[in-house]
Amino acid sequence: MAGSQRYIRYILLAFIVAATVFFFTSSTARYQTADQLQKTAELLKGQGSIYGGSQSQAQHSLSVDAAKADATTTAASSEQTSSSSDTSPNPDYGSKTHLAGETAPGERMNATFVTLARNSDVWEIARSIRQVEDRFNRKYHYDWVFLNDAEFDETFISVTTALVSGNTRYGKIDSYHWGFPDFIDQEKAAAVREDMHERKIIYGDSVSYRHMCRYESGFFFRHPLMMNYEWYWRVEPSIELFCDINYDPFEFMVKNKKKYSFVLSLYEYVDTIPTLWDSTKKWIKNNAQHIADNNGMEWISDDGGETYNNCHFWSNFEIGSLKWLRSEQYISYFEHLDKEGGFFYERWGDAPVHSIAAALMLRKEEIHFFNDIGYYHVPFMHCPTGAEYRMEHKCHCNPSDNFDWNGYSCTKRFYEMQKMTLPEGYEKEQ
Ligand SMILES: *[C@@H]1O[C@H](CO)[C@@H](O)[C@H](O)[C@H]1NC(C)=O
């Protein structure tokens, strides 16, 4: 009898040990070492990873302020019931009511957050929103625009409306912007997907991923809901923000005449863009008037524009000017690329497209690196360099997981181009 009890105890112990090992391995696996990151970089081109599967089409946009009004009323009425005796007192202040002194003083910019998501992303985007709100927006209450190629469902709308402290708007993407343009040869495009699938190129066989890249490259900033704003901050599902943001980055952009910004940069997976630079050179040749003086060419090319070095800003995070994206020069570049067909005949991403455009059409001082915004999107982390800064801003990221000074990042090159001094302590993070 005693023997079998001991036997059971051993089994239990073994089980606990196994569970502990599993817990640690699975949680450390999230922030992999630099070496592993390099290997996975090509496999896990993070942005838009949610668009791996097949997709249906959709038509026009709708704004759901009515749903918001409902949600506000519900929140307000539940306030009275939440202090009943069988539960701890945790009053519900209502999603749009804020504690006194919580709201930051000063003017607001004409700006919005923007997210491309599917209904099934609701809990992943909920995590992102919560972090953005806790670290920044609870004091600023900027609006949030959600775009989807299908109609948003009630759960998505009510959950996100409750979490965002500003107004939320929900739009459906026009099928014309989320589909094959008529000049694309469908058979050729299908053959490319087949080939990329065989060569195991990540999302190589995905149609919806391509629609997503094309949409982010050329259309999101022209969606009717986005036309109400001049600045955007792109947020994807499952991101993390690691530090308090105690100022308004939109205002920073406006006041300092910035047009585009980033937190992570890296080298693009060449097999997805073999002819992007050739297509770009064709456009440059006919559009010299659109190339800025003092531009960022040296960041994207090591030989004065002959070849592309594959550096790009990781566009799943962006704070930028919608006016710039809507400008004649940017639209001209996008339309040229679209006609070239590489969104479908290759797998051009919106990250290299935005980055090349920014490097060519903006003056280099118009591009900003937000070292202070701690950020994670699988599989890369930007953890602000500088211990003092991290403490003051309550950052909870591990600086040794910072990707910036890794050989696969292009951020050091950005510092060199801008002739900025590398932040103190960067060597320790290499
Ligand atoms: C914000 O920008 C949009 C687009 O330029 C404009 O139509 C709108 O009037 C602006 N709103 C405010 C409050 O300035």
Task: Return the SS3 of 34.
Answer: helix
Provide mean pLDDT across the span 58-71.
43
Q: Across residues 235-243, what is the average pLDDT?
A: 98
Instruction: Work out which ligand 1 atom sits closest to the CA atom of 227.
Output: 4
Give the residue-averaged pLDDT of 57-66.
41
pLDDT at 78: 43
- Domain membership of residue 226 (yes or no) is yes
- Distance (angstroms) between ligand 1 centre and the Cα of 229 equals 5
Structure-model confidence comparison of residues 311 and 26, the more confident one: 311
**Of all atoms in ligand 1, which is nearest to the CA of residue 323?**
5
Give the Cα separation of 305 and 282 in Å (integer). Answer: 12
Q: Which pLDDT band, with edges at 50, 70 and 90, does 389 fall under? A: very high
In this prediction, residues 3-28 reach a mean pLDDT of 56
Q: Is 240 a catalytic residue?
A: no
Q: What is the distance between the alpha carbons of residues 103 and 92, in angstroms, rounded to a whole number?
A: 18
Cβ–ligand 1 distance for 429 under 6 Å, the answer no
Residue 333: domain span: 57-70+103-429
pTM of the model: 0.81
At 269, which CATH number? Answer: 3.90.550.10
- What does the block give as tokens for 68? 């918001």
Confidence category of residue 227, pLDDT binned at 50, 70, 90: very high
Q: Is the CB of 230 inside a 6 Å radius of any atom of ligand 1? A: yes
- Asked if residue 392 belongs to a domain, the reply is yes
Report residue 130 CA to chain centroid gap.
Answer: 15
Q: Quickly state the pLDDT bin for 73 (edges 50, 70, 90).
A: very low
What confidence tier does 425 reach under pLDDT thresholds 50, 70, 90?
confident
The 10 Å Cβ neighbour count of residue 276 is: 22
Phi-psi group of 94: left, alpha or beta (phi > 0 → left; psi -120 to 50 → alpha; rest → beta) = left
215: in domain? yes
Asked if residue 144 has pLDDT above 80, the reply is yes
Output the CA 198–ligand 1 centroid distance in Å.
Answer: 48
Give residue for tokens 């089980």.
15
275 lines ligand 1 (CB under 6 A): no
Tell me, using a 6 A CB cutoff, whether residue 229 lines ligand 1. Answer: yes
Collect all residues with Cβ–Cβ distance below 8 Å to 136 and sequence separation of at least 6.
241, 244, 245, 249
Total domains in the fold of the chain:
1
pLDDT at 71 over 50: no
Whose CA is closest to atom 11 on ligand 1?
110
Residue 225 resides in a domain:
yes
Top mutation candidate among 227, 229, 325 for ligand 1, by most atoms within 8 Å of CB: 229
Amino acid in the structure at residue 116: L
Any ligand 1 atom below 6 A from CB of 326: no
Q: Are 146 and 225 in contact, with CB atoms under 8 Å apart?
A: no
> Per residue in 168-204, pLDDT tens?
999 999 999 999 999 999 999 999 999 999 999 999 9
Measured CA to CA, the distance from residue 414 to residue 235 in angstroms comes to: 23
Q: Are 202 and 48 in contact (CB under 8 A)?
A: no
Query: Does residue 257 sit within a domain?
Result: yes
Average pLDDT (23-37) is: 45
Share of the chain above pLDDT 70, in %: 77
Q: How far is the CA of 111 from the centre of ligand 1 (A)?
A: 9
pLDDT value, residue 65: 47
The reply to whether ligand 1 has any atom less than 6 angstroms from the CB of 228 is: yes
Please state the atom number of ligand 1 nearest to the C-alpha of residue 110: 1
Q: What is the mean pLDDT of the chain?
A: 86
User: How far is the centre of ligand 1, averaged over its atoms, from the C-alpha of 184 (Å)?
Assistant: 35
User: Which pLDDT score is estimated for 163?
Assistant: 97
Does the structure show a pLDDT above 90 at 313?
yes
pLDDT at 81: 47
CA of 230 to the centre of ligand 1 (A): 7
Residue 46 lies in a domain: no
216, 240, 318, 346: the catalytic one is: 318
Q: What is the pLDDT of residue 430?
A: 73
Q: Return the ligand 1 atom nearest residue 228 CA.
A: 3
Q: Give me the pLDDT at residue 84, please.
A: 52
| Position 247 in a domain | yes
What is the pLDDT at residue 302? 97
**Looking at residue 427, what is its pLDDT?**
85
Task: Enumerate residues 6+ apart whose C-beta is below 8 A from 220.
Answer: 114, 116, 147, 226
Whether residue 181 has a cis bond before it, omega within 30° of 0: no
248 assigned to some structural domain: yes
